[in-house]
Amino acid sequence: MVNELLGRVAIVTGGASGIGAGIVEKFLSEGARVVIADVERERGEELAGKLGADVVFRSADVSNPEQIGALVAGAVETFGRLDVMVNNAGVSSKMHRSFLDDDLADFQRVMSVNVLGVMAGTRDAARQMATSGGGSIINMSSIGGIQAGGGVMTYRASKAAVIMFTKSAAIELAHYEVRVNAIAPGNIPTPLLQTTTTDKSPEELARFEHAIREQMRADRPLKREGTPDDIAEAALYLASDRSRYVTGTVLPVDGGTVSVTIGGSGPPVLLLHGYAETSRMWKPLAKVLAPRFTVIAPDLPGIGDSSIPTSGLDMKSSAERIHAVVHSLGYSKVRVVGHDIGLMVAYAYAAVYPEEVEKLALMDAFLPGVGGWEAVYNNPQIWHFRFYGPTPEALVKGRERIYFEHFWNDFAADKTHSIPEADRRAYTRAYSRPGRMAAGFAYFASFPKTAIDFAELAKTRLAIPVLSIGGEKANGVALGVQVKLIASDVTVIVLENTGHWILEERPAETIAALDRFL
């Protein structure tokens, strides 16, 4: 489309370089007149001079609300109106290996720019827009505000605050036809990291940034780095009439991600959930482990809040994606726990990266391709292994809760001691989102491929300690037999009068066993 912003006026804070400069150039190419606001006077004036008469530069420090007010007033004085406000200016916090080493010295600086600047920019722009028929406000968050992780805790907190503020402001300002949305970029090379306060030399910082970006690229379904133009296209959409019925939305632009929850302190433990659940299932265990371990609980690719890959929704590919995430968090050795299909991803992780796994716990499922697997896979009572494709998706659509009740109730020894009601509602919501049920089905469709992969991997027995734990009335016995075929140091626990959902059916016994083993 051409001239989508013809006749409109926009302010872009932090507009002198990086993502901000990309947005300025995109808006200008679509007919807008633009005010570049930045503390980098030389860069800003140079860019404005290069782009022509429809662009002006104004020096502004967004951590000072008075300067933001003057910026908005100046834009209206210069161009006669204000239609779009992009609160893009931001700074990072100092990177720390551990939060315990963070002196919080840069807390005020980061929050003043990243949160106060966004709030003041939204307020002052909205005051003007409310008197002139409305407008669009775009706040720059980050994938770091959505996806938990370590390293730059203050920065992540600030970007998470931007998300909640954006959603709240969208509700209040809708009355004035002022739309408020956020963009969450990820893996976009900009000067932000390069100018982060750090004790690293420029050469060390360059090597570190290169390694991080390589890991991020390996994790993304889209195997390339993003560009400022990718973010600019998202900003154009939110600024234009194409998004006229969109407000309170956070738009990730990151090539696809694996959503991870992290907490605790100590050696890292990786927890991989199963089907009909998300990483939420691990909360009871995480509370016990957190005082002694760093708990890493991702949503499997395609499930929960993780992105849906365009290909490779199988156990080995998912293990590779999660491995990339673990490395991006700075961990080279982990202890791995998996339940249900998460068990299969956990085994793939340990078998593909044996030098990087210290212990492995497998919870109630089976291993395709390992001796005895056909008896489980071909059991006519377990029909869902082959229930996938367009027709099953159509049958289940709008009936996700009914479908999952079969698993939650029938696979438990006692359905009244299975998945709690609050979790059932949460899991139903997660899998009812577009594409999520198909992604879950894809894991079952991958069983034949997984059997080939695991048959080859099982030729090399694991040397690490492995725990097999399952229900007497589910897969506990069969799993124990299989695990002895793939590892030499095996402990087998079969929980009596217990079905498939061992963490929910026998929480005390399951948590105690895992805690002892890990």
Residues 6+ apart with CB under 8 A from 380: none
- CA–CA separation, 226 vs 217, rounded Å? 9
- Angle between helices 447-457 and 315-328 in degrees, nearest 10: 70
Q: Is 131 left (phi over 0), alpha (psi -120 to 50) or beta?
A: alpha
Distances (CA, A) of 310 to 117, 274, 442, 448, 452: 37, 20, 11, 19, 22
- CA–CA separation, 425 vs 420, rounded Å? 9
Name the DSSP class of 146.
T
Q: Is 353 a residue of the active site?
A: no
Q: Which helix (H) or strand (E) holds 303?
A: none
- Structure tokens of 243? 């998004």
Q: Which helix (H) or strand (E) holds 325?
A: helix 315-328
**CB-based burial label for 233 (10 Å; 0-12, 13-18, 19+):** middle
- Structure tokens of 506? 């026998």
Neighbours of 129 (CB within 10 A): 24
- CA–CA separation, 168 vs 319, rounded Å? 37
H-state helical runs in 261-307: 283-289
- Residues involved in catalysis: 155
